[in-house]
């Protein structure tokens, strides 16, 4: 239990949070120090203006000019008591001041939202108080926005890491499934070959042909299953096939295995509808969808298969009158391991979607479903 709680992922995540939090708090501390220093600089500049107004000595004027020349980054606007801009400003666009009469007023409003003004009393009688509003220097803005930029970078890093881990896990999972499928096909190969030999022996021993024929069909079925598993994990060869014929063939196969209370009907708008498919794998998808439909109807109902031949794609809708899928389960139906059946493995729909999306470059999804009324699965194949 201890190792599960404190695995390497949790440790790395904790370290990342500590580093990010530490740098953010430190940058905020630096921002406050810079803000204090800048307010001090503005205070010094304002006091120099006050001193210049009170004397005409060259030394005082030179000091004011020196202080002014050293402040090249903090924007300042001087106003009267009613926030009307005066002629005193620093580090603002002089061209805009001349062209736009409201430029300084906008700056006053902007600076008012950032800092409290510095008040200077120039005389007692009459009382003359000026306000000096100031904004942030370039350094202050950079330090202020640094945590936001840092959080965005960390967020992107975490997102990329999660996507990479997810892709790796999916790749590993796919390799495991493909390996299991190929191993199953390999293990089935020997007994199937043996069964084919025994079928020929039965034929030579004068066993009734009907019995031998049925056994032969089951052996062929096993060969088909083995062939399907063998194609999982590899790139199957696609060939142009008649979709209507393929679906009709699987519908006929399922009719024999369904009760007489189930009707399966195939409709199409073009009997010559074709698309690039791998017949064994495509048949597997149709078989899985029809089996799911039969299970959902519990031996009674109707399955309608509609095939539409469109300009750029072939659309196959498989609709049943079963119990439907609840809204909470809709996002889960294609996840490996999800099944509402007591003995289900939850692999049929997952494999079917993989066959359609990865091998046929198409789509398989739930078009609509309503509990108590039925479900429609849609297959879309590009031409």
Domain extents for the chain? 2-136, 164-218, 236-382
Convert the pLDDT of each residue in 208-262 to its tens digit. Answer: 888 888 888 888 888 888 877 777 766 778 999 999 999 999 999 899 888 889 9
| CA pair distance 199, 207, nearest whole angstrom | 10
Longest dimension (CA), the chain: 133
Q: What span, in angstroms and rounded, lies between the C-alpha atoms of 285 and 348?
A: 8
β-pairing, 262-268 vs 301-309, is parallel
Pick the CATH number of 236-382 from 1.10.3720.10, 3.30.565.10, 3.40.50.40, 2.40.128.640: 3.30.565.10
Burial (0-12, 13-18, 19+ Cβ within 10 Å), 331:
exposed
| Average model confidence (pLDDT) across the chain | 82
Contact 281, 353 (CB under 8 A): no
Closest CA to 34 of 167, 153, 144: 144
Give tens-digit pLDDT for 12-71.
Answer: 777 777 877 787 788 788 888 888 888 888 777 777 766 666 565 555 455 455 555 566
Q: 312 φ, ψ to 5°?
A: -115, 0
Instruction: Give residue-wise pLDDT tens across range 309-361.
Output: 998 999 999 999 999 988 888 888 888 776 766 655 567 888 899 889 988 99
Q: How many Cβ atoms sit within 10 Å of the Cβ of residue 276?
A: 17
| DSSP string across 238-303 | PEEEEHHHHHHHHHHHHHHHS-TTEEEEEEES-TT-EEEE-HHHHHHHHHHHHHHHHHHHTT-EEE
For tokens 């700056």, the residue is 107
């Amino acid at each position: 239990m201890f190792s599960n709680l404190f695995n390497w992922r949790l440790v790395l995540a904790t370290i990342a949070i500590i580093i990010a939090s530490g740098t953010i708090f430190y940058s905020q501390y630096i921002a406050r120090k810079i803000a204090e220093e800048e307010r001090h600089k503005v205070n010094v500049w304002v006091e120099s203006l006050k001193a210049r107004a009170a004397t005409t000595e060259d030394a005082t004027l030179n000091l004011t000019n020196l202080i002014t020349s050293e402040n090249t980054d903090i924007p300042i606007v001087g106003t009267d008591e009613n926030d009307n801009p005066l002629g005193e400003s620093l580090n603002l666009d002089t061209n805009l001041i001349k062209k736009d009469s409201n430029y300084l007023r906008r700056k006053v409003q902007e600076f008012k939202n950032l800092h409290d003004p510095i008040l200077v009393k120039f005389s007692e009688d009459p009382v003359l108080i000026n306000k000096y509003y100031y904004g942030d220097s370039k350094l202050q803005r950079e330090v202020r926005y640094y945590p936001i930029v840092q959080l965005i970078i960390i967020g992107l890093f975490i997102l990329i890491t999660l996507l990479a881990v997810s892709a790796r896990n999916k790749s590993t999972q796919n390799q495991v499934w493909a390996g299991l499928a190929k191993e199953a096909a390999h293990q089935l190969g020997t007994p199937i070959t043996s069964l084919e030999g025994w079928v020929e022996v039965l034929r030579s021993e004068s066993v009734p042909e009907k019995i031998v024929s049925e056994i032969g069909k089951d052996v062929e079925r096993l060969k088909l299953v083995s062939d399907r598993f063998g194609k999982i994990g590899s790139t199957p060869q696609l060939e142009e096939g008649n979709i209507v014929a393929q679906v009709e063939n699987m519908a006929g196969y399922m009719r024999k295995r369904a009760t007489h209370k189930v009707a399966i009907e195939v409709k199409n708008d073009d009997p010559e509808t074709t698309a690039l498919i791998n017949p064994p794998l495509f048949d597997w998808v149709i078989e899985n969808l029809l089996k799911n439909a039969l299970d959902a109807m519990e031996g009674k109902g109707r399955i309608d298969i509609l095939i539409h031949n469109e300009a750029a794609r072939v659309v196959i809708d498989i609709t049943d009158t079963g119990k439907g899928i609840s809204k909470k389960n809709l996002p889960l139906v294609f996840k490996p391991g999800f099944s509402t059946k007591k003995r289900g493995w939850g692999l049929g729909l997952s494999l079917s979607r993989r066959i359609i999306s990865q091998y046929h470059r198409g789509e398989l999804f739930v078009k609509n479903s309503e509990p108590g009324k039925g479900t429609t699965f849609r297959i879309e194949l590009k031409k």
